[in-house]
Amino acid sequence: MINVVFTGSYEHTLDPKGRLILPAKFREQFQAGGYLTQPTGQCLALFTRPVFDEVAAMHRERQRTGEEAVANQARGFFSRSFEFVPDSQGRIAVPQVLRDKVGIDREVTVIGNSTRVEIWDRERWALEDAQQDIRINEQFQGRDISF
pLDDT averaged over every residue in the chain: 92
Residue 115 CA to residue 129 CA, distance in Å, equals 19
**Structural domains present in the chain:** 9-121 (3.40.1550.20)
Residue 139 CA to residue 118 CA, distance in Å, equals 24
What are the phi and psi torsion angles at 3 (to 5°)? -130, 10
Residue 34 CA to residue 16 CA, distance in Å, equals 22
The pLDDT of residue 91 is above 70: yes
The pLDDT confidence band at residue 143, using thresholds 50, 70 and 90, is low
Residue pLDDT, tens place only, 5-27? 999 999 999 999 999 999 999 99
Q: Closest Cα partner for 17 from 70, 81, 93, 78? A: 93
Stretch 83-104: mean pLDDT, rounded?
Answer: 97
What pTM, to 2 d.p., does this model score? 0.88
Q: How high is the pLDDT of residue 104?
A: 97
Contacts of 26 (CB under 8 A, 6+ apart): 6, 46, 110, 112, 117
The sheet with strand 9-13 has its strands ordered as: 9-13, 107-113, 116-121, 44-48, 34-37, 82-84
